[in-house]
Amino acid sequence: MSFHSPFPDVEIPATSIYEFLFGSLTDAELELPAFIDGPSGAVTTYGELIAHINGVAGALAARGIEPGDVVALHSPNVPAFGSVFHGILRAGATATTINALYTADDIAKQLEDSNAKFLFTVSPLLPQAKAGAEQAGLAADRIVVLDGSEGYASLRDLLTELAPTPRVSIDPEEHLAVLPYSSGTTGRPKGVMLTHRNLVANVCQASDGLGGGQHRILSVLPFFHIYGMTVLLNIALRNRSTLVTMPRFDLMEFLRITSEHKCTQVFIAPPIAVALAKHPAVDQFDLSSVELVFSGAAPLDANLGQAVAQRLNCQVRQGYGMSEMSPVSHLIPVNRDDVALDSVGFTVPNMECKLVDPGTGEEIQVPESGVSEPGELWCKGPNIMRGYLGNAEATAETLVEDGYLRTGDIATVSSDGVVSIVDRLKELIKYKGYQVPPAELEALLLTHPQIADAAVIGVTDSEGEEVPKAFVVRQAESGLTEQEVIDFVAEKVSPHKKVRAVEFLEAVPKSAAGKILRKDLRAREAAS
C-alpha cells in the first residue's frame, strides 16, 4: 500500500535549471545581493552573478567544453561557487562537485570515474587538487584556480576573456546537470546522475515547505553536497534570497556572521545543533534575526532540536532525503507546529512512497490510525536520479520496479502521513552528515600487513554522534594496537572518514556467500 504526499502536486516547468532560476529575473532583482562572503562581507549582486555565469560558460565553450562533457568543481563555500557551478551547467556541461575535504587519492578517483575534462579549485586546496589531477592524467592547463595561483588560470582570467555564451539546447529530461558522488546503499562512491528536471523538480517540491520568500541564509553547509546545492544554493537563488557564505565551520565565526548579517534562515547538520543548544558563546551574540533553523543529512535528536528552538526563540525543522533524490523527499513544513521533531515530516509534493518489509519483501500496511510497522522506505517521483554513472548493477539494485528508489533506510509512517526514520538497513555511515563508505575503509585496512580481515560499521559515541568503528582480525602473533589502527587510517583518508574506534575480533562474521554480516556486528555493539 503506497502513500502519496498529502500535498497537492506542484507544477514543474520543463526548462533547464538556468532558465528556471534566472529566466524571469527583473531589472530590479539584478540589484539584489545574491551572495555575501561571510568572512569579508563582499557582496555579489544577482546582476554580477548572471554576468559571471555567462562568462564562465563562454570561457568553457572557448576551451572546447560542450554538452555531455563533465567539469569538476572542488571548492568550499565561496560566492564564486555559484558562478562556476551555474556556468558549467549553462555551457551544457555536467558539474561533478568534489568534497573539499578529499585527499588527492579521492579527488583522482572522482576525476577518473566521471571523466572530468576540467577542474576548478581554490588556492588553499591546490596541493591536493594538483596531485589528484596528475594522478588522473588531467593536465595542469585544465585546472582553474578561482582565486588565482602562479601558473594557473584564475576565475578573473576567464571572465576578462568575455567569450560569448554558447547557445546550447538542453533537454531537461535527458541532460545530466550534476554528478555528485554517493555510496548509496552499498560499496564505494558512485556518480549520481541527476538531470536538469531532477534539480528543477526538487526546488519546486521543497520550496513551499521552507516557507518561500526572500531570506538571508547562513550557508555553511557545503554547496558541493546535494543538501547545500539544492536546499541552500538553488532554492535561495530561485527566491532571490541572499546566501551568506562560510568556507568552513567555526562556531565563533558562525555566530558572528549570523548576527552581523542578520540571517533569517540557518541550515545545519545535527552536530551544529549541539553547539547551538549548549555552547556558552551563543549568549554573547544577538541572534534575534533567526526565524528558522533547519537540520538535515542525519537524524536530529528531538530534545536537542527543542533546546535550540527555545534558546534561539526560533522554529526548528528537519528534512530527510538522499543524493539520489536530488535530495529532499521529506520535510517538516515551516508552517506546521504540530509535527514531532523526531520525525522527518511529510512526503514532499509529486512523490509517492511505500514501506517494504526487508525480510519478506511484503508491503507494509498504512494503518487507519496510529503508526505503521517499520519497513524499508521506497520512494518515487520526478526528483529520483537516472542511475549511477557506468554502474548498471548498482543502478538495478537501487532503482527497482515501477520507478521506485530503495533508500536503504527503515521508516514508519503514521495514518496522517508523518514519516519517521527509525534505522538504517544499508552499510553507509554518516559522520557529521558526511558520507563514510565502510567498503572503502575495509579495503584500506586490508592493505595493512598485520591485518587479516576487517569490517567497519557506524556506532554511537559517548556524545551521541555516529562514528566509524573498525572490527579487526589481526594476523597471527601480531601485537597491533587499537591506536596503531586508528593512526594507519588517519594518515591516508580525509578527516571525516577516520576510524574513531577499534575492536579486535577472532573472525569477522560473514554469510555463506562471504558478505560481512553487519547486523551481527551491530547486535554485538548494542549488547556491549
CA gap 218, 210 in Å, rounded: 14
**Can you tell me which residue has the cell 575492536?**
503
**Segment interacting with ligand AYL (CB under 6 A) among 58-66, 143-151, 223-231, 359-367:** 223-231
Site for ligand AYL in 228-247 (CB under 6 A): 231
From candidates 33, 189, 191, 319, binder to ligand AYL by CB under 6 A: 319
Min dist. Cβ of residue 234 to ligand AYL (A): 12
320 belongs to the binding site for ligand AYL (CB under 6 A): yes
Min dist. Cβ of residue 185 to ligand AYL (A): 8
C-alpha separations of 491 from 99, 267, 398, 448, 498 in Å: 18, 31, 33, 13, 9
Min dist. Cβ of residue 505 to ligand AYL (A): 26
- Total of residues contacting ligand AYL (CB under 6 A): 25
Q: Using an 8 Å Cβ cutoff, are 130 and 149 in contact?
A: no
Q: What is the 3-state secondary structure (H, E, C) of 416-443?
A: CCCEEEEEECCCCEEECCEEECHHHHHH
Cis peptide bond N-terminal to 280, omega within 30 = no
226 belongs to the binding site for ligand AYL (CB under 6 A): yes
Per the DSSP assignment, residues forming a β-bridge with 293 are 266, 316
CA gap 57, 51 in Å, rounded: 10
297 belongs to the binding site for ligand AYL (CB under 6 A): yes
CA gap 436, 498 in Å, rounded: 9
Min dist. Cβ of residue 388 to ligand AYL (A): 12
Min dist. Cβ of residue 497 to ligand AYL (A): 13
Nearer to ligand AYL among residue 166 and residue 299 (C-beta): 299
Nearer to ligand AYL among residue 3 and residue 227 (C-beta): 227
Nearer to ligand AYL among residue 246 and residue 322 (C-beta): 322
**Segment interacting with ligand AYL (CB under 6 A) among 148-156, 295-303, 360-368, 464-472:** 295-303
Nearer to ligand AYL among residue 177 and residue 328 (C-beta): 328
Kindly state the helix (H) or strand (E) to which residue 336 belongs, with its residue range. Answer: none
Question: What is the grid cell recorded at 200?
Answer: 528543477
Q: What is the largest CA-CA distance in the chain?
A: 74
331 belongs to the binding site for ligand AYL (CB under 6 A): yes
Instruction: Detail the DSSP E strand segments found in 306-399.
Output: 315-321, 328-331, 346-347, 352-356, 375-380, 387-388
- CB-side exposure of 103: number of CA atoms within 13 Å? 12
Site for ligand AYL in 408-447 (CB under 6 A): 408-409, 421, 424, 430, 435
Min dist. Cβ of residue 321 to ligand AYL (A): 3
Nearer to ligand AYL among residue 69 and residue 409 (C-beta): 409
Amino acid letter, 394: A
488 belongs to the binding site for ligand AYL (CB under 6 A): no
From candidates 159, 200, 322, 521, binder to ligand AYL by CB under 6 A: 322
Site for ligand AYL in 388-407 (CB under 6 A): 407
Min dist. Cβ of residue 103 to ligand AYL (A): 19
From candidates 96, 99, 195, 323, binder to ligand AYL by CB under 6 A: 323
Min dist. Cβ of residue 274 to ligand AYL (A): 15
Q: What is the DSSP string of 374-385?
A: PEEEEEESTTS-
From candidates 99, 103, 318, 372, binder to ligand AYL by CB under 6 A: 318
321 belongs to the binding site for ligand AYL (CB under 6 A): yes
CA gap 249, 244 in Å, rounded: 13
**Segment interacting with ligand AYL (CB under 6 A) among 212-220, 325-333, 392-400, 490-498:** 325-333
From candidates 227, 254, 346, 404, binder to ligand AYL by CB under 6 A: 227
Q: Using an 8 Å Cβ cutoff, are 196 and 269 in contact?
A: no
Q: Using an 8 Å Cβ cutoff, are 111 and 72 in contact?
A: yes
Give the CA angle between residues 71, 72, 75 to the nearest 5°.
Answer: 140
Q: Using an 8 Å Cβ cutoff, are 294 and 317 in contact?
A: yes
Min dist. Cβ of residue 406 to ligand AYL (A): 10
Q: Please give the residue ranges that form the binding site for ligand AYL (CB under 6 A).
A: 182, 226-227, 231, 296-299, 318-323, 327-328, 331, 344, 407-409, 421, 424, 430, 435
